[in-house]
């Protein structure tokens, strides 16, 4: 494997197999062609719109769209087309700063190929022999990517919460980081990718945060999302990213972003430097 292999794996979405999903004239998602029939069967909520699938234009308020689509999602979930609900809703909007057209249950977001956002935090420690990074192992009974390596703290970005607020909340819930330490989280950019999995399309954006931790701080397993935390020298983290598929797919990109910003990757010695740096944002414009 290589850094670029992870970037390619995250960007495996082949749009030829998908049709645009529109709400109120705006392109907000990508639906897999073989899933279109599930929506076409619900002409009371969806309509074909010149090669696209759209929410019926007559369903024209935030509340009506949200409840009409939620009912279809419930049905698709019962018949196993969409994963079990996670009882969390995500906004469907033209942009994260714009008022959403509606909300959709988190587990159905890939089915509609709507962009989800999340927050990922790399916690690190400066030791005498250089930077060390805290790595998490996801719980073995977690619904998604069980047992895989993960960034120290990460979570989806639900509707109605600020990024920082969400990040600090997750720091407490996932790693027992007290607020007085978590409030030092620093926003450092984001990564974009366009992934495709059995669930559908994930044209996602993960907002990246760094948190420098005191040398004596040890994270605590709080909510059972994580099985263990390990403090690794940055070179080991980089090696595991580069050589293995042990990290959950998108965490590799968040770590690569860290390696770039902290000077661990060097344009003089890394032959793929330009492609690696460019690759963290290469497919951010799927909805323009």
Is residue 12 within 8 A of residue 203, CB to CB? The reply is no
Find the helix packing angle between 3-10 and 234-243, rounded to 10°: 60
Q: How far is the CB of 68 from a second copy (least distance, A)?
A: 29
Can you tell me the distance from the alpha carbon of 111 to that of 82, in angstroms, rounded to the nearest whole number?
A: 7
Choose which of 40, 127, 218, 274 interacts with a second copy (CB under 8 A).
274
Q: How far is the CB of 90 from a second copy (least distance, A)?
A: 16
Count how many residues are written for the chain: 288
The one segment of 90-98, 105-113, 195-203, 226-234 that binds a second copy by CB under 8 A: 90-98
Q: Pick the closer one to a second copy by CB: 136 or 168.
A: 168
Choose which of 8, 205, 236, 242 interacts with a second copy (CB under 8 A).
205
Q: How far is the CB of 131 from a second copy (least distance, A)?
A: 12
Q: How far is the CB of 202 from a second copy (least distance, A)?
A: 17
Task: Please work out the total of residues on this chain that contact a second copy, with binding judged by CB under 8 A.
Answer: 31
Choose which of 48, 96, 218, 220 interacts with a second copy (CB under 8 A).
96
The residues that bridge with 195 in the sheet, in sequence order, are 202
Closest of 265, 49, 223 to residue 136, by C-alpha = 223
Q: How far is the CB of 29 from a second copy (least distance, A)?
A: 17
DSSP conformation class of 248: -
Is residue 226 within 8 A of residue 175, CB to CB? The reply is yes
- The answer to whether residue 181 forms part of the interface with a second copy (CB under 8 A) is no
The number of beta carbons lying within 10 Å of the beta carbon of residue 122 is 28
- The answer to whether residue 214 forms part of the interface with a second copy (CB under 8 A) is no
Choose which of 97, 99, 198, 214 interacts with a second copy (CB under 8 A).
97
- The answer to whether residue 67 forms part of the interface with a second copy (CB under 8 A) is no
The number of beta carbons lying within 10 Å of the beta carbon of residue 85 is 16
Phi, psi of 130 (to 5 degrees): 110, -175
Q: Pick the closer one to a second copy by CB: 178 or 267.
A: 267
Q: Please, which residues have CB within 8 angstroms of residue 84's CB and are 6 or more apart in sequence?
A: 77, 107, 143
Q: Which residues from 249-268 bind a second copy, rule CB under 8 A?
A: 260-263, 265-268
Q: How far is the CB of 174 from a second copy (least distance, A)?
A: 20
Q: How far is the CB of 5 from a second copy (least distance, A)?
A: 18
- The answer to whether residue 130 forms part of the interface with a second copy (CB under 8 A) is no
Burial class of residue 53, CB neighbours in 10 A (0-12, 13-18, 19+): buried
What is the token pair recorded at 58?
């007559």
Residue ranges binding a second copy (CB under 8 A): 95-97, 162-165, 186-190, 192, 205, 207, 210, 260-263, 265-268, 271, 274, 277-278, 281, 284-285
């Amino acid at each position: 494997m290589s850094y670029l292999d992870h970037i390619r794996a995250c960007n495996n979405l082949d749009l030829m197999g998908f049709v645009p999903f529109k709400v109120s004239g705006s392109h907000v998602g990508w639906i897999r062609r073989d899933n279109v029939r599930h929506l076409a069967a619900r002409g009371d909520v969806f309509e074909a719109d010149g090669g696209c699938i759209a929410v019926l234009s007559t369903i024209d308020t935030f509340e009506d769209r949200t409840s009409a689509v939620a009912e279809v999602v419930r049905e698709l979930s019962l018949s196993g087309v969409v994963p079990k609900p996670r009882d969390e809703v995500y906004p469907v909007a033209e942009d994260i700063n714009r008022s959403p057209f509606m909300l959709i249950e988190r587990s159905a977001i890939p089915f509609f190929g709507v962009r989800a956002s999340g927050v990922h935090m790399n916690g690190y420690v400066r030791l005498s022999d250089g930077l060390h990074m805290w790595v998490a192992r996801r719980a073995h009974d977690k619904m998604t990517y069980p047992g895989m390596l993960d960034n120290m703290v990460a979570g989806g970005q639900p509707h109605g919460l600020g990024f920082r607020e969400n990040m600090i909340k997750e720091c407490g819930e996932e790693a027992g980081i007290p607020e007085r330490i978590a409030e030092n989280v620093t926003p450092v950019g984001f990564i974009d990718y366009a992934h495709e999995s059995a669930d559908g399309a994930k044209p996602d954006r993960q907002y990246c945060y760094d948190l420098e931790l005191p040398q004596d701080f040890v994270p605590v397993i709080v909510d059972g999302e994580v099985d263990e935390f390990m403090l690794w020298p940055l070179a080991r983290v980089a090696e595991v990213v580069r050589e293995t598929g042990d990290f959950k797919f998108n965490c590799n990109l968040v770590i690569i972003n860290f390696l770039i910003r902290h000077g661990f990757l060097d344009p003089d010695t890394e032959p793929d430097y330009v492609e690696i740096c460019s690759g963290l944002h290469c497919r951010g414009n799927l909805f323009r």
